[in-house]
Amino acid sequence: LSVGEQQRVEILKALYRGAALLVLDEPTAVLTPQEVDDLFITLRRMAAEGHALIFISHKLHEVLAISQRVTVLRDGRVVGTRPTAGATKTELAQMMVGRPVILQYEKTPLNMGEVLLKIENLVVRGDRGTDALKGVSLEVHSGEILGLAGVSGNGQRELAEALAGLRPVKSGRIILNGVDVTHASPSVRIANGQSYIPEERMKDGAIKDFSVADNFILEDHAKPPFSSRTFLNFRSIRQVSERLIQEFNVKTPTIDTPIKNLSGGNIQKMILARELSRRPKVLIASQPTRGVDIGASEYIHQRLLEQRQAGTATLLISEDLDEIRALSDRIAVIYEGEIVGIVDGKTATTEELGLMMAGIRDKTKA
C-alpha cells in the first residue's frame, strides 16, 4: 500500500475501535477536501459523545475549523495555548516560527512562453507491476508553475521518477527543451536543463553519511569548477558550498557536517540550493515542502516563485492543496494514473478540485 493508503487504513482502524482518546497526526494529508469534511463530521460527533481528540496538523485552517483549543510547539517546547475562537492563522504561524510569516503570495503577472516540457501519452509501470500512469499528457511552459494535485498513490511518484529518469517508460514520450529524453539517463536530462527536487529527500536527494559539501556537488562532481581531469578542486567545492549556504540560508555548523545531522528543512534547502544553482530551464518539484516547518515552507515557496519570474517551467507535484492553489498558474488533477482535468489556478475552487481528485472529470481546459 502507498503511504496515503496506509494512513487511511489507520484512521479507519482507530475509528472502528471507538477509542476513548484518539491522537490524529496529520490525518487529512491524503484526503480530498470532501473526505476532510466527512472526517470532521465524524470527529465532531466523537467529541460530542465524550471522546478526547488530539489533532496534530500544520494546516492552520483545519486546526481552526476542528478544535476548541490550540497549542503551538516550536523546537520541542510549548510556545503557548489559545482558545480557537478569536485565533487567526497569522497569529498561529508567527507563534510557530517566532517571526511574521507570509501566508498569501503576490505573484507577478503570468508571462507564459514556449513549451519546455512536453509529456505525451505516458504509460509507466508501478511497483506492483500494473500501469501506474495510463496515457498522461501535459505541457509546461516557460514562466509558469503547473501544479499537479491528487490524493497520494494516484501516480504522482511514478510520474516524477519517470521525468527524472529513475523509472523506465513503457510507452509515450518526454520532450525536454525540444529533445526527446524518454529513455535518457538523469545526467542527460540535467545537461538539457532539468533539475529535480525529489519526494524522498534522504533516498533520492541526498546521501546521509556524506557531508554538506559532498551533497552540494552530487551529479556535478566531475564537472568544472569542482574537478579538473581526474582531480577534485577542494577549494572551489568549499567556495561554492559556502556561497550556497549563505544564499539559501542553510543552517549547518560547517560544510563538513554530515547531512543527516541537519533538520529536515535545512536538508531540503540544501537540495533546493543545489538544483537551482544550475539555473534550470525545467524544474520538477515533487512534494517540496513535505515534512518541513512553516518557515522553511515559506522560504521554498518564495524560491519557486522566483524561478517562475526567471522563466523556468516548473511542474509542482504536491498533495497539499493549499500549496498547489497558492503557487500554481494552472492546476492539473491526477486520479488513478490519468489526468482528469486542467483548470485555471486563479478561478479553481477547493470543491471543484476535490471532486476531480475523487475521479469526477472536468471538461474545462485552461
Residue from 54, 4, 2, 69 nearest 30 by CA: 4
Contacts of 115 (CB under 8 A, 6+ apart): 139, 140, 141, 313
pLDDT at residue number 229: 78
Q: Please give the average per-residue pLDDT across 241-254, as a whole number.
A: 94
Whether the pLDDT of residue 4 is over 60: the answer is no
Q: Please give the average per-residue pLDDT across 10-32, as a whole number.
A: 80
Tell whether the torsion through CA atoms of 329, 361, 287 and 325 is positive or negative: positive
Three cell numbers at 134?
495510463
Contacts of 270 (CB under 8 A, 6+ apart): 206, 212, 215, 216, 244, 248, 250, 252, 259, 262
Whether the pLDDT of residue 3 is over 60: the answer is no
Say what angle helices 33-48 and 3-17 make with each other, to 10 degrees: 20
pLDDT at residue number 1: 63
Whether the pLDDT of residue 150 is over 60: the answer is yes
All CATH 3.40.50.300 domain ranges of the chain, comma separated, are: 3-97, 115-219+257-357
- Return the half-sphere exposure (C-beta side, CA atoms, 13 A cut-off) of residue 58: 19
Predicted confidence (pLDDT) per residue in 83-104, tens digit? 999 999 999 999 998 888 887 7
Whether the pLDDT of residue 258 is over 60: the answer is yes
Whether the pLDDT of residue 114 is over 90: the answer is yes
Question: Considering the chain, what percentage of its residues have pLDDT values greater than 90?
Answer: 66
Whether the pLDDT of residue 364 is over 70: the answer is no
Whether the pLDDT of residue 2 is over 60: the answer is no
Q: Which of 138-142, 261-265, 357-361 has the highest mean pLDDT?
A: 138-142
Question: Considering the chain, what percentage of its residues have pLDDT values greater than 70?
Answer: 96
| Residue 235 pLDDT grade (very low, low, confident, very high; cuts 50, 70, 90) | very high
Say what angle helices 264-276 and 234-247 make with each other, to 10 degrees: 110
Rounded (5°) CA angle 110-111-112: 100
**Within a 10 A sphere around the Cβ of 1, how many other Cβ atoms?**
9
Predicted confidence (pLDDT) per residue in 308-352, tens digit? 999 999 999 998 888 999 999 999 999 999 999 999 999 999 899
Three-class DSSP labels, the chain? CCHHHHHHHHHHHHHHHCCCEEEEECCCCCCCHHHHHHHHHHHHHHHHCCCEEEEECCCHHHHHHHCCEEEEEECCEEEEEEECCCCCHHHHHHHHHCCCCCCCCCCCCCCCCCEEEEEEEEEEECCCCCEEEEEEEEEEECCCEEEEECCCCCCHHHHHHHHHCCCCCCEEEEEECCEECCCCCHHHHHHCCEEEECCCHHHHHCCCCCEHHHHHCCCCCCCCCCEECCEECHHHHHHHHHHHHHHCCCCCCCCCCEHHHCCHHHHHHHHHHHHHCCCCCEEEEECCCCCCCHHHHHHHHHHHHHHHHCCCEEEEECCCHHHHHHHCCEEEEEECCEEEEEEECCCCCHHHHHHHHCCCCCCCCC
pLDDT at residue number 365: 47
pLDDT at residue number 14: 78
Q: Which of 90-99, 179-188, 216-225, 257-266 has the highest mean pLDDT?
A: 179-188
Given a contact cutoff of 8 angstroms between Cβ atoms, the answer to whether 288 and 304 are in contact is yes
Instruction: Report how far apart, in Å, the C-alpha atoms of 218 and of each of 190, 211, 213, 222 are.
Output: 12, 11, 9, 9
pLDDT at residue number 16: 78
Average pLDDT, the chain: 91
Residue type at 226 in one-letter notation:
F
CATH superfamily of 115-219+257-357: P-loop containing nucleotide triphosphate hydrolases (3.40.50.300)
pLDDT at residue number 29: 72
pLDDT at residue number 343: 96
Whether the pLDDT of residue 190 is over 80: the answer is yes
Pick the CATH number of 3-97 from 3.30.1360.200, 3.40.50.300, 3.30.70.3270, 3.30.1360.120: 3.40.50.300
Predicted confidence (pLDDT) per residue in 28-73, tens digit? 877 778 888 888 888 898 899 888 999 998 889 999 999 999 999 9
Distance CA 195, CA 264 (A): 20
Question: pTM for the complete prediction?
Answer: 0.85
Distance CA 342, CA 362 (A): 8
